[in-house]
Amino acid sequence: MASAPSKLYADDVSLLVVLLDTNPFFWSSFSLPFSKFLSHVLSFLNSILLLNQFNQVVVIATGCNSCDYIYDSSSATNTDAESGRMPALCSDLLRKLDEFVTRDQHLGEKDSLGPPTSSLLSGSLSMALCYIQKVFRSGPLHPQPRILCLQGSTDGPEQYVAIMNAIFSAQRSMVPIDSCFMGSNNSAFLQQASYITGGVYQKPQQLDGLFQYLSTVFATDLHSRTFLRLPKSVGVDFRASCFCHKRTIDMGYICSVCLSIFCKHHKKCSTCGSVFGQPQSDVPSASNVK
Amino acid sequence: MPQVKIIAKNFMDMVSSLPAMKLDKLYENAFICEAILRSLPPLAKKYVLQTLYIDVPITAKSMEEWVLPDGSSKHRVAIDRLIQLRIFTETVDRRRETTYRIHPTFQTNLQKLVTLGEVLPREPMSSDITVRLPSLEDLEVYALAQWECFLLQLINSAQAERPLNISPSMMKVFQRGLLSQREKEAPRLTESGFQFLLMDTNAQLWYIIREYISNSEERGVDPADLISFLLELSFHVTGKAYNSNTLTEIQRSLIKDLTDLGLVKLQQGRKESWFIPTKLATNLSVSLTDSSARKQGFVVVETNFRLYAYSSSKLHSEVLRLFSRIEYQLPNLIVGAITKESLYNAFENGIAAEQIITFLQQNAHPRVAERIPSVPENVTDQIRLWESDLNRVEMSPAHYYDEFPSRDVFEAACDYAREWNGLLWEDSKSMRIVVKAEIHSHMREHLRRQK
């Protein structure tokens, strides 16, 4: 139903949902200071809004313990125009980000489990998809949505199932997930996310020129992507995590009923409850998991 | 509607046809840079963003490498547009390598916009001075009413109530091309006048503004000043008050004309006066892109050729009257019928069937707009059929020959005409033929030789 009337919108109107990694454990040990990173990102957001009057930007902060919306260009316009000379986008976003980081830290103190090193990517992905669903249902006229993950911290294997579910629901609703990964090793989750949803995965080589990467690759609207040569993923790490210990594994056991993955043999599937027989020790029943 | 695009593009063409010096001066204004960036095709926008922080010339070869084979035509269009607007300058060096360089002023202005974010052209006045600001709805009603009043006056309708203070000479300029003025006769709408009425508001506005700009030199106003002021105006916030003191002398005189068009509303306080931009003004730069205006439709067409228009506007009823028979009018509803006679009337006035159909489709009421097709197929087909009925006869200038001296001469003449592929009709019994006008001179030569 949406295809015919949405032609009324110009081809390149986009809704960009940016997932911002605010993991303090990552940023404190990283070569690029968070403040510099933010200034690149703010310029990038400005340039997206500059390109088209109808372009919309939503920023979601991904913390260690929580995630939250910190900026929405559709609701934030001109609220701050009177208070000062600082442009609305920067002051608004920085204030909310500040509040978020303190809140996130407090949440972390309550948990006595020790510092987690990964960010809650699954949470922010789900929030982004919820927002996009809301936009889809707002009427026949809506901008073309896409998600951009600015991620630095390593994958949290315990989020494997949640992230995979988010990826598949993004694929179903035709929302590409772009990922710009700044950490040292490639992120298998984001590689898979971009591969499955048709987005772009890139790992910038020179972080000083982050803005150039962002504006060259990730500012491309979905319409122009059909004409442009964008970076292609060379190899994607398709390894899965097991459901029992959340470890990334090369080989494992798969439930023949519900396709849950386990790293060692169980008597009963923890997901669907099917009862397994004994594995034959001489014939390896472990199958390659893709 | 195809006209919409043509007119919107023409405005940018007008900007690009300005002399290089004026264009350079225009780019000193950051708002113009922004408006022009937004008017570019998507690919061109991307190129500008990509080269924003590159200070060295970029070779054409490396730019082509960004594009997939499918997109080469789009790439060409984008580059041409950028060169036309002098955003990119093309240089060919000794080794015949083409390089592009981004316009330096344009570049720095955009860099500022990117790093600092969008800024407003003027500070709005604080709300304690401006007490009785109209609400956004009131403002929109005001703008549309003002615009309608202008249009009614433009087409010299008797329905226009209050006179505007646009000078009659200015009005004449606007009417040029839209109305035909014959002596002793009431002015009639011309073909393009009718087409103008069927366009959407933004396109109409641009048409008028283009006329206004092209006429500005005669009034001693620099077109570049006018363009920059209009584009700047479009970046103000709708419904906020701006002090008139911030305007220059020229702008203050311009803003009076713009008030008549409904672009701004002027208000006078105790000491100061201020202007409030309306939606028409802030949409100006939006409509430069190809996206057509997204306003709610109001027309429902039924399969029995009846037409219901939920509107109280006199202008709408005037427009509908162009091609349909208005049967009765209720306070918020116009009921009419599309008949053969009403359509013939429209066709005679130079309105094409396609225009009527696109008008009906674009202004379809939201209830029917969701349906496909929004206008019943039998109605659209019948409109097209009635138009083609009129085009059954083809006219071509011709010459008529008779009273041939003998049958031989007649037959030779027929053969000769056939050789030239110009024989339209022959009657061998009474020896008469009709040939195309183009070969008349050859035919005369031939007949003279026969004698």
Would the pLDDT of B440 be above 50? yes
Separation between Cα atoms, residue B49 and residue B451, nearest integer Å: 78
Respond yes or no on whether ipTM tops 0.90: no
- The predicted model gives B281-299 an average pLDDT of 62
The closest CB to that of A87, out of B70, B118, B285, belongs to: B118
Tell me the pLDDT band of A145, cut-offs 50, 70 and 90. Answer: very high
Closest CA in chain B for residue A209: B53
Q: Which of A73, A142, A228 to mutate to test the interface with B (most CBs of B within 10 A)?
A: A228
pLDDT tens for B191-237 read: 677 777 777 777 777 778 877 877 777 777 777 788 888 888 877 77
- Residue A5 has a pLDDT of 34
- The predicted model gives A9-20 an average pLDDT of 81
Domain positions in chain B are 2-116, 136-288, 299-390, 398-450
Tell me the pLDDT band of A77, cut-offs 50, 70 and 90. Answer: low
Would the pLDDT of A168 be above 90? yes
Would the pLDDT of A289 be above 50? no
Give the minimum alpha-carbon distance from A262 to chain B in angstroms, rounded to a whole number.
Answer: 43
Interface of B with A (CB under 8 A): 34, 37-38, 42-43, 45-46, 49-50, 52-53, 65-68, 70-71, 74-75, 110, 113-120, 124, 126, 237, 285-286, 289-292, 294, 369-370, 372
Give the minimum alpha-carbon distance from A41 to chain B in angstroms, rounded to a whole number.
Answer: 10
* Closest residue by Cα to residue B117 from B13, B4, B30: B30
Tell me the pLDDT band of B367, cut-offs 50, 70 and 90. Answer: confident
Would the pLDDT of A155 be above 80? yes
Q: Where are the beta strands (DSSP E) in B164-313?
A: 179-180, 188-189, 242-243, 264-268, 273-277, 299-301, 306-309
Closest CA in chain A for residue B42: A12
Would the pLDDT of A285 be above 50? no
Tell me the pLDDT band of A112, cut-offs 50, 70 and 90. Answer: low
- Residue A179 has a pLDDT of 92
Average pLDDT of every residue of chain B:
80
Separation between Cα atoms, residue B170 and residue B178, nearest integer Å: 14
pLDDT tens for B60-89 read: 888 888 888 888 888 888 888 888 888 888
The closest CB to that of A215, out of B50, B237, B294, belongs to: B50
Would the pLDDT of A133 be above 90? yes
- The predicted model gives B256-263 an average pLDDT of 80
- The predicted model gives A10-17 an average pLDDT of 80
Check residues B116 and A131 and name the one with the higher pLDDT: A131
- Residue A288 has a pLDDT of 45
The closest CB to that of B119, out of A87, A215, A228, belongs to: A87
- The predicted model gives A120-142 an average pLDDT of 88
Give the minimum alpha-carbon distance from B372 to chain A in angstroms, rounded to a whole number.
Answer: 9
- Residue A147 has a pLDDT of 94
Average pLDDT of every residue of chain A:
81
CB distance A89–B52 less than 8 Å? Answer: no
| Gyration radius from chain B CA atoms | 29
Check residues A103 and B201 and name the one with the higher pLDDT: A103
Would the pLDDT of A169 be above 90? yes
Would the pLDDT of A176 be above 90? yes
pLDDT tens for B168-199 read: 667 777 777 677 665 555 666 666 777 777 77
Percent of chain B with pLDDT over 90: 7
Separation between Cα atoms, residue B26 and residue B18, nearest integer Å: 10
Tell me the pLDDT band of A83, cut-offs 50, 70 and 90. Answer: very low
CB distance A87–B37 less than 8 Å? Answer: no
Bridge partners of A202? A180
- The predicted model gives B7-26 an average pLDDT of 72
Q: Answer yes or no: same fold for B2-116 and B398-450.
A: no
Percent of chain A with pLDDT over 90: 21
* Closest residue by Cα to residue A53 from B444, B379, B23, B291: B291
Structural tokens at position A140: 């026949």
User: Which residues on chain A are in Cβ contact (under 8 Å) with B124?
Assistant: 81-82
- The predicted model gives B382-401 an average pLDDT of 86
Give the minimum alpha-carbon distance from A55 to chain B in angstroms, rounded to a whole number.
Answer: 11
- Residue B4 has a pLDDT of 39
Would the pLDDT of B336 be above 90? yes
CB distance A140–B370 less than 8 Å? Answer: yes
CB distance A8–B291 less than 8 Å? Answer: yes
User: Which residues on chain A are in Cβ contact (under 8 Å) with B292?
Assistant: 8
CA angle B155/B160/B165 to nearest 5° reads 90
- Residue A171 has a pLDDT of 93
Three-class DSSP category at B57: coil
Element (H, E) at B111: helix B104-116
CB distance B369–A5 less than 8 Å? Answer: yes
Structural tokens at position B312: 């109280």
> What are chain A's domains?
11-226 (3.40.50.410), 239-290 (no CATH)
Tell me the pLDDT band of A284, cut-offs 50, 70 and 90. Answer: very low
Contacts (Cβ under 8 Å, ≥6 apart) of A91: A80, A83, A84
CB distance A50–B114 less than 8 Å? Answer: yes
Q: Which of B53, B72, B114 to mutate to test the interface with A (most CBs of A within 10 A)?
A: B114
CB distance B53–A212 less than 8 Å? Answer: yes
* Closest residue by Cα to residue A58 from A45, A67, A47, A39: A45
The closest CB to that of B49, out of A8, A10, A47, belongs to: A47
Q: Which of A13, A51, A92 to mutate to test the interface with B (most CBs of B within 10 A)?
A: A51
Interface of A with B (CB under 8 A): 1, 4-5, 8-13, 42-43, 46-47, 49-54, 78, 81-82, 87-90, 140-141, 211-212, 215-216, 219-221, 223-224, 226-229
- Residue B2 has a pLDDT of 38
What is the count of residue pairs from A and B with beta carbons less than 8 Å apart?
A: 102
User: Which residues on chain B are in Cβ contact (under 8 Å) with A1?
Assistant: 370
pLDDT tens for A213-270 read: 998 889 888 888 888 888 877 777 788 888 888 778 888 888 888 888 888 888 888 8
CB distance B37–A53 less than 8 Å? Answer: no
User: Which residues on chain B are in Cβ contact (under 8 Å) with A54?
Assistant: 286, 291
User: Which residues on chain A are in Cβ contact (under 8 Å) with B69?
Assistant: none
- The predicted model gives B118-146 an average pLDDT of 73
Do the bridges between strand B306-309 and strand B299-301 make them parallel or antiparallel, or are there none, so unpaired?
antiparallel
Separation between Cα atoms, residue B440 and residue B451, nearest integer Å: 17
* Closest residue by Cα to residue A124 from A108, A100, A144, A105: A100
Would the pLDDT of B295 be above 70? no
Would the pLDDT of A191 be above 80? yes
Q: Which CATH class is domain B2-116?
A: mainly alpha
CB distance A50–B116 less than 8 Å? Answer: no
CATH architecture of B398-450: 2-Layer Sandwich (3.30)
User: Which residues on chain A are in Cβ contact (under 8 Å) with B113?
Assistant: 46, 50
